């Protein structure tokens, strides 16, 4: 006799729900950072609707902040664009990492690429370096909504928020990256964790050493590229 079938949630639906929940969990952080961006953008003379359009179309915090800050300081289009490009250059690596998980027609791959962001990617990378497509795509939704909503609030409250340094909100991004780092280390054990720590320390030292001289975005890119070449050449 067969046992009564137990109702089960299909694995992919459960995974999608978990990924959505992860995205909503990060949404408040996206919101705060994006509100800071919106307030800053109107403070340096950008029309509110343009700041909002930027968040809707770019969904890239560091590049948005840097480009608006340069333009606000009187820089031309080319320096602003080059800075944005350098800040986003790490997505060349992230894009290569997610590519195997994104089959299908080219326009679907571009649409999926547009959702890429650091936290979703870190959440989606498996220990063997492959990427979980469901986690990658669905965990970005809550962050995107938080991101757009944050800019709306930021441009509206902009003049009232004042400097983000005064209220310590400039710690939000590094604090968030620290939490991602700790979560990544906790998922590793033993020799693998020690190796990850050594690699991370080396990357941090290289990035920090270059930061005073190199344009924004370059230190992180060079640090990570050097590390990857070293790691890739040596069998684990």
Partner 1 sequence: MKVDVWMLIAAGVAVTLGPKAVGPLLLGGRTLSAPIQRALTLLPPALVAALVVVAIWGTDGAGGAERAAGVAAGTMIVLRRGPLLLAMVVAAAVAAGLRLLF
152 near partner 1 (CB under 8 A): no
Q: Is residue 157 within the footprint of partner 1 (CB under 8 A)?
A: no
8 belongs to the binding site for partner 1 (CB under 8 A) = no
9-28: contacts with partner 1 (CB under 8 A): 28
Q: Please give the Cα distance from 61 to 119 (Å, whole number).
A: 12
Cβ atoms of residues 170 and 62 within 8 Å = no
Choose among 234, 227, 186: nearest CA to 204. 227
In the region spanning residues 36 to 95, those forming contacts with partner 1, defined by CB under 8 A, are 44-47, 50, 53-54, 57-60, 63-64, 67-68, 71-72, 74-77, 80-81, 84-85, 88-95
- Which residues ranging from 187 to 206 are in contact with partner 1 (CB under 8 A)? 195-197, 199-204, 206
Q: How far is the CB of 17 from partner 1 (least distance, A)?
A: 20
Q: Scanning residues 100 to 129, which ones bind partner 1 (CB under 8 A)?
A: 100, 102-104, 106, 109-110, 112-114, 116, 118, 121-122, 125, 127-129
Q: Tell me: does residue 143 bind partner 1 (CB under 8 A).
A: no
Q: Please report how close the Cβ of residue 214 comes to partner 1 at its closest, in angstroms.
A: 10
Total site size for partner 1, rule CB under 8 A: 105
Calpha distance 128→101 (Å, rounded): 13
Q: Is 136 in the site for partner 1 (CB under 8 A)?
A: no
Report how far residue 118's alpha carbon sits from residue 63's, in angstroms, rounded to the nearest whole number. Answer: 13
For residue 236, state whether it binds partner 1 (rule: CB under 8 A).
yes
Min dist CB 70 to partner 1, Å, is: 9
């Amino acid at each position: 006799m067969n046992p009564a079938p137990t109702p089960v949630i299909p694995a992919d639906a459960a995974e999608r729900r978990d990924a959505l929940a992860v995205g909503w969990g990060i949404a408040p952080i996206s919101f705060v950072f994006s509100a800071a961006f919106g307030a800053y953008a109107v403070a340096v003379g950008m029309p509110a609707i343009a700041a909002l359009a930027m968040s809707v179309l770019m969904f890239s915090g560091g590049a948005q902040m840097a480009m608006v800050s340069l333009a606000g300081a009187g820089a031309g289009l080319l320096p602003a664009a080059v800075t944005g490009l350098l800040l986003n250059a790490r997505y060349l690596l992230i894009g290569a990492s997610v590519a195997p998980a994104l089959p299908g027609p080219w326009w679907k791959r571009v649409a999926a690429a547009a959702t890429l962001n650091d936290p979703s990617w870190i959440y989606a990378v498996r220990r063997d370096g492959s990427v979980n497509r469901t986690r990658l795509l669905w965990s970005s939704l809550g962050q995107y909504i938080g991101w757009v909503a944050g800019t709306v609030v930021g441009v509206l409250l902009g003049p009232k928020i004042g400097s983000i340094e005064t209220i310590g909100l400039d710690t939000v991004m590094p604090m968030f990256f620290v939490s991602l780092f700790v979560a990544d280390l906790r998922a590793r054990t033993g020799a693998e964790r020690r190796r990850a720590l050594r690699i991370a320390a080396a990357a941090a030292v290289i990035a920090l050493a270059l930061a005073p001289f190199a344009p924004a975005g370059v230190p992180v890119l060079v640090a990570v590229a050097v590390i990857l070449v070293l790691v890739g050449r040596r069998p684990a």
